[in-house]
Structure 1
């Protein structure tokens, strides 16, 4: 076992989750990562970074509950990163309540179940990080369930910080903006509207997670760190007006 202890990362086979798992493994954590359908990617992660992999469909509550109890007993976890999430896009008129329920199950309920099972067992100095989204701050059009679930996750983060803080366990969120994480973003104008002039990378988010898990963040609790290159600080029309004036 490494000196930094053991961390569970959900959705660790691809995108942001993979970058987080790799970053933490490289910095001395023993990493356990879940995956749902990305078996080949998970096996590659295990081969290249020594990550323990576990298959888990977080949309299945009974399986999540069983997994939470089992992983708590199998490992002495010092950290938890709730990264796994789903996004289903549908026009409002066709929005499925099954899709709504599934989105909230994966994006909100599963992180709560894992935190409830694992958080109280952590020693003082333990840390939980939830991966939210800048979509939590705005209204949506075709992904209402996703935006609402990420807003709920931020609220859950603050509540968990309240109840676990007295145990010495910190709970925070990272709130990414546009990130090139396997979902096509090149066709959108986000990079042009971002003051840094680019979309984020999964590694950008992984660095913030690693910071929040470290002793350098020992007094940060119940916070949401926005990592969006400044995107949410830009008004589309004000920028267009400024650009038009040269």
Structure 2
């Protein structure tokens, strides 16, 4: 499939592990110039370092660091054709023990971080650019002991729908990917993972590469008239 991604300029947040790493590598292999950012909690591996155009430390919950990231993208790439808002944080706590600090942490790292980064790079988005927000199936179905996480990912759906209308006249597309439980996540082990695998028609958990392929599609010319959607990557569950 011709993607039209050769030479395109791409920013992936949370790009050193899991979905972010797989997505950064997928765009790089498609010929794009990729910048990824990370908080520094997980050092990038050699394959990623060799594939990427640049790697920056940036905590997307801190506005000064996001501003510096946008400046680095401007200096390094001159603009953006694809933004993948992948950085986020999970959380698990029943409502009775879900205090405001934990609620705020998860909301900030998911919904507010995507707003913060998108707003910072908005002047860099070229006509025809694509914004891809990494959401979650939890936004659509909910998840016990994860009201804050489900709400944060649901907020991304509204953010996507509003921005697709606001930025559409500039030719900018905005979409969300909603993965199911991803096989490399900590909780993707034991009875819960086994139960979800059994419920999934395709018979396995989601892999980071599955999400990366969806991001590649939404960032490519093949999705030139696709905007405002939530693309489920959950095996049909």
Q: Determine helix, strand or coil for the equivalent of 1:197.
A: coil
1:50 to 37, 47, 52: 52
Shift of 1:39: 4.3
> What does 1:1-246 correspond to in 2, within 5 Å?
3-41=6-44, 44-47=47-50, 49-75=51-77, 76-187=79-190, 188=192, 189-231=195-237
The TM-score with structure 1 as length reference comes to 0.86
List structure 1 runs of 4+ shifted beyond 4 angstroms: none
Report the Cα distance in structure 2 between the residues aligned to 1:44 and 1:57, rounded to whole angstroms.
Answer: 23
Shift of 1:73: 4.9
Work out whether residues 35 and 73 of structure 2, in 8 Å CA contact, stay in contact via their aligned partners in 1: no
Work out whether residues 173 and 228 of structure 2, in 8 Å CA contact, stay in contact via their aligned partners in 1: yes
Task: Out of 99-108 and 64-73, give the one that drifted further.
Answer: 64-73
Shift of 1:64: 2.5
The TM-score with structure 2 as length reference comes to 0.90
CA RMSD of aligned residues (A): 1.8
Structure 1 pair 194–33 and aligned structure 2 pair: CA distance change class (3 A):
same
**Structure 1, unaligned runs of 5 or more:** 232-246
Larger Rg computed on CA atoms: 1
Work out whether residues 83 and 130 of structure 1, in 8 Å CA contact, stay in contact via their aligned partners in 2: yes
Report the Cα distance in structure 2 between the residues aligned to 1:14 and 1:195, rounded to whole angstroms.
Answer: 27
Shift of 1:37: 3.0
Shift of 1:57: 1.4
Shift of 1:44: 4.7
Work out whether residues 6 and 30 of structure 2, in 8 Å CA contact, stay in contact via their aligned partners in 1: no
